[in-house]
Amino acid sequence: MAQQSLHIVDYLVIIISIILFIGVGAIFTRRQKTTDKYFTGGRTIPAWAIGMSILATLISSVTFLAYPGEGFASNWIRLVQGLMVPIVLIFLIWFVVPLYRHVIGLSAYEYFEKRFGYLARLYSSLAFILAHFSKMGTVFFLLALALSKMMGINTYLIIWILGISITVVTMLGGIEAVIWLDVIQGFMLMAGGLLCAAILLFVPPGGPVAVIKTAVEAGKIGFGPYDLDFTKLTFIVMALNGIFYAIQKYGTDQTIVQRYLTAKSDKDAIKASLMGVLLCVPVWTLFMFIGSALFSYYKLMQIPLPDGIRPDAVFPLFIMNQLPIGITGLILAALIAAAISSLDSDLNCLAAIGVEDYYCRIKPRSTDKQKLVMGKIIVGISGIAAILVASLYVKAGKETVLSIIFTLYAIFSGGIAGLFLLGIFSKRANKKGLYIGIVACILFTGWAVLTSTPLSLGGEKKLLLDLGKYNFTHHKYMLGVYSHFVLFGVGYIASLFFPHVEKHEDLTIYSWIERRKQAKLSQS
């Protein structure tokens, strides 16, 4: 099947959209005169804008391309992770938001230092950095892969051009530019997804009924298998993965915690967080459904697909060949917007971590102006590093990108959710016990990765470390579950062997509960 080339109208739509994005970023350039303004927007951003920003940050081009690719190739099992988020958030958000807003200055990992010492802060911030560099590389790669197929431009060239453009806009505009760009891009992405879903549902013969029936019969809509088996990808594996993903994302992730700090009040921050999550789940579901509908569309329309096409490339092919002139440009603009909204957020947050957790530690007497300059330098360095990671992803093979992302998350999660739960729920846990837990978690992760990762040597696949019956045999996603249990369990038990001399009750959930009780008593 010959692929159409973009019409001049589509190019114009894309160019105008990109100019708009750059223009919005440029508007905020002159306001970035302090680190507080650059990283928290002066703490005056409206709740609804923060909520849209959280949505846009979480639904990058990974959602736009990887989710349809997964829905086309398999079923909705990897959506289960996202479905766990609102369930966890209902129990988490009420005390986490006030805690961070009143305990930290900028870095989410300052909490861990106050609770357990600087090593805990260093460890947790390093886990964030590694996880987000891998994620940013994936976002760049997915976008470049799609655009190169559509425009016939070299993938590496697109990665570098877009990467440098996004880095420059983020470097100049700060968090305000990031959030207001996210608002625009979030609306664009949702509109683009709804438009594509409508075409996929109503164009094929038989309409929505035939499309859904075909997808269900082919097993493209469902969350199975439902076996109680941790050695393969099952519903229970993804559900457990999703619970800890939600705890780590909303309890420890700088991209989310920094949003809490931009709000005018605790109430606004909580409202923004709930809004972002409650919008994310339907959007994730929409794009997973698009993948299943793509399968039905090509089958019902009897349109052959190119041999050996990657699942992640089917949606871009549909956009290019099946959408009207102008609409293709709008969808591509939404795709670019989705990538920008995630990448600019990550870059700004990485800079915040770099300044607060590392630069200020090396130069504690640095002026606010020096911190601001260093923040912009770190944005630039992080952008280049993410571009290099994306270039490595170009040879990722035929494994779906969503699978790669979840695997990297499992490896780099580093038990941080366990660390967070230990700090929040245990008064007895102490610094020395936690450090032993961190060592145990690192050793466990290293063993699990080495004894479960195959390496091709001369056409033959061998494990990096083969210990026979002592190999890690459970599904690789369970790494992102077990590591949290290991850190929490070992950290707590080890703490019992050391004197309880540290007083951190004000940093636990129990102090929050006590304050709530006192507030109710004072009102009665």
Model pLDDT for residues 354-390, shown as the tens digit of each residue? 999 999 999 988 999 999 999 999 999 998 988 887 7
pLDDT at 199 over 90: yes
SS3 215: helix
The pLDDT value given to residue 23: 80
Pairwise pLDDT comparison (460 vs 81), residue with the higher score: 81
SS3 397: coil
Pairwise pLDDT comparison (433 vs 320), residue with the higher score: 433
Pairwise pLDDT comparison (510 vs 47), residue with the higher score: 47
- Where exactly does CATH 1.20.1730.10 map onto the chain? 8-395
Residues 55 and 67: their CA atoms lie apart, in Å, by: 16
Residues 417 and 253: their CA atoms lie apart, in Å, by: 10
Contact 451, 463 (CB under 8 A): yes
Whole-structure pTM value: 0.85
Q: How many CB atoms lie within 10 A of CB 231?
A: 11
Q: What is the pLDDT of residues 423-453, one digit of tens each?
A: 999 988 999 999 999 999 999 999 998 898 8
For residues 513-523, average pLDDT: 77
Q: What is the pLDDT of residues 165-180, one digit of tens each?
A: 888 888 888 888 888 8
In which band, very low, low, confident or very high, does the pLDDT at 396 lie, cut at 50, 70 and 90? low
Question: Taking CA 268 as the corner, what is the angle to CA 262 and CA 273, rounded to the nearest 5 degrees?
Answer: 80
Residues 263 and 49: their CA atoms lie apart, in Å, by: 9
Q: Which residue has the tokens 């349109």?
A: 303
In which band, very low, low, confident or very high, does the pLDDT at 395 lie, cut at 50, 70 and 90? low
pLDDT at 457 over 80: no
Contact 320, 245 (CB under 8 A): no
- Amino acid at residue number 289: F
Long-range contacts of 43-47 (CB under 8 A, 24+ apart): 43/261, 43/262, 43/263, 43/264, 44/262, 44/264, 45/176, 45/179, 45/262, 45/263, 45/264, 46/264, 46/268, 47/263, 47/264, 47/268, 47/269, 47/271, 47/272, 47/275
The pLDDT value given to residue 398: 45
Query: E-assigned strands of 327-485?
Result: 454-457, 460-463
For residues 152-162, average pLDDT: 82
What is the fold, at CATH topology level, of the domain defined by 8-395?
Answer: Sodium/glucose cotransporter (1.20.1730)
Q: What is the pLDDT of residues 212-234, one digit of tens each?
A: 999 999 999 999 899 999 999 99
